[in-house]
Amino acid sequence: AEKEFKVEVEAIGRVRHKNLVRLLGYCAEGAHRMLVYEYVDNGNLEQWLHGDVGPCSPLTWEIRMNIVLGTAKGLTYLHEGLEPKVVHRDIKSSNILLDKQWNPKVSDFGLAKLLGSERSYVTTRVMGTFGYVAPEYASTGMLNERSDVYSFGILLMELISGRNPVDYSRPQGEVNLVEWLKAMVTNRNSEGVLDPRLPEKPSSRALKRALLVALRCVDPNAQKRPKMGHVIHMLEADDFPFRDDRRAGRENMRSLRDGLKDRLTDKPVNESGDSSGYESGAHTNRSIWRKQESEEP
């Protein structure tokens, strides 16, 4: 285990990207591990979203989407720009550090795993943070980059709503962020998911784009989640709603209708206690597409 740790940390130490915190060194002694990172001087995203930073969060919609895009670029480099690829395994708001210009840097590679091109996944002990862990990884221990994509989707929902992934202080039906947000979007109440502390609301188009990306990233079927490189395209593309996604959704809609209600009412719970029986993202996306199409001339 110590040899594996050193191999992985030394590989991560060679990573250079503006949206990744640079690992400067490490120390391993017995069962103890210490990682040393560059200093980033504006705290972490969790502090700005949920901490005591004054009567109103300074995070505008523009800043939040800049954080989303920068985080996506950092993850894309880990997944698609390196060999072997790096699966972070613990994407969450407290691991997104911010500089004075609000540029994000993904930090804390203590749980990261290397995944060579000859392997589609690695089986490992389930690690990560409750609420961010992909359901298939939580239940099987099978890990690949799609697990990071799920965690990224949760992070995006957190930025949109200002809510924690799991919050037991909220009413029943609102405890789990994914389930609550999907229900709100399905009921055509997209604006109802916005963080009330936002200084200004985003345009309807910008909100729908962010929601669609988030919903695709948390698809319960890991193979249907987009790669992080495609997430960047979706965040930046002009052809919204995305033509390929809309075409695919229409082709699959007939088969999805049959049995959809049964699937929506069956929500199993995985070993970690986190609900993994989320309804298909295609159904929720359809609600967005239909409304968007009805608004187009």
Residue of 93, 162, 97 lying closest to 131 (CA atoms): 93
SS3 240: coil
Q: Which of 41, 52, 90, 239 is catalytic?
A: 90
Helix 204-217 and helix 61-80, axial crossing angle in degrees, nearest 10: 30
Separation CA 210–CA 45 (nearest Å): 18
- Asked about 167 being catalytic, the answer comes back as no
Buried b (16+ CB within 10 A) or exposed e, 58-96: ebebebbbbbbbbbbbbbbbbbeebeebbbbbbbbbbbb
Contact 80/228 with Cβ under 8 angstroms?
Answer: yes
Contact 47/133 with Cβ under 8 angstroms?
Answer: no
Contact 87/147 with Cβ under 8 angstroms?
Answer: yes
Separation CA 294–CA 149 (nearest Å): 30
Catalytic residues: 90
